[in-house]
Amino acid sequence: MITGEKVILRMAEKEDLEFVYDLINREENRQYLSVYRPMSKKEEEDWIAGTAQKATAGTDYTFIIIDRKTKKQIGNCGIHSIDTIARHGEIGITIHPKFQNKGYGPDAITTLLRFGFESLNLHMITIAAIETNKRAIHVYKDKLGFKYEGTLRDRKYKNGRYYGSAWLSMTRDEWEKRKEGVNDA
């Protein structure tokens, strides 16, 4: 387990099946994810099993986000597509709607950044958001210190329309400065 100020990140377990099934099948969550359709329980069960295999291989670390106080599941997050040569990974996060806007997302991402830079020795971590998710882009850039890289046009297809994908990144040096309270912006 990895502990943040408000959250605990732990590997997904079989007992998380109902929670992740509900999380991915909420249309309000899927609108911001790469998943385009509802998922079956069998697919989610296979997904949970696959997270352990990928973590063992060192290519992907997926966690269930737990509220430190209540011990309830509130979302999932991870560092994905890890390139061990370039030392790069991509963060993804989903918070259950009833737990959004309570500071869990920024704390979970900060905890992931610490894990990625300090435990996995990554050089750069990126995060992407569909261009219409202005709230997420604001949090990543203005609250967490990610640098805006650019928007890749027409990368996501949702509800009969194409959308751009905004990409942001943070290097280990930027992480170290953020930890020390130095702001280069």
137 and 166 Cβ atoms separated by less than 8 Å: yes
pLDDT score, position 180:
79
Residue 185 forms part of a structural domain? no
Q: How many domains does the chain have?
A: 1
Distances (CA, A) of 116 to 17, 90, 103, 136: 26, 10, 20, 20
Mean pLDDT calculated for residue range 58-68:
95
* % of the chain with per-residue pLDDT over 70: 94
Domain CATH code at residue 137 = 3.40.630.30
In a domain, 46, yes or no: yes
- Looking at the domain assignment, is residue 17 inside a domain? yes
Q: What is the pLDDT of residues 71-124, one digit of tens each?
A: 999 999 999 999 999 999 999 999 999 999 999 999 999 999 999 999 999 999
DSSP-H helix ranges across the chain: 17-24, 27-30, 41-57, 104-114, 134-138, 172-179
Residue 150 lies in a domain: yes
Please provide the distance, in angstroms rounded to a whole number, between the alpha carbons at the two ends of the chain: 33
What pLDDT does residue 160 have? 85
Domain membership of residue 169 (yes or no) is yes
> Are the beta carbons of 130 and 156 closer than 8 angstroms?
yes
User: What are 17's two structure tokens?
Assistant: 């099946």
Domain limits for position 122:
2-179
With bands split at pLDDT 50, 70 and 90, how would you rate the model's confidence at 39?
confident
- 44 within domain boundaries: yes
d(CA 66, CA 111): 12
| Mean of all residue pLDDT scores within the chain | 90
Domain annotation covers residue 37:
yes
Q: Which of 38-52, 62-76, 111-125, 146-160 has the lowest mean pLDDT?
A: 38-52
Task: Output the pLDDT for position 155.
Answer: 87
Structure tokens belonging to residue 104 = 């869990």
Q: Percent of the chain scored above 90 by pLDDT?
A: 66
The verdict on residue 172 lying in a domain is yes
d(CA 135, CA 36): 21
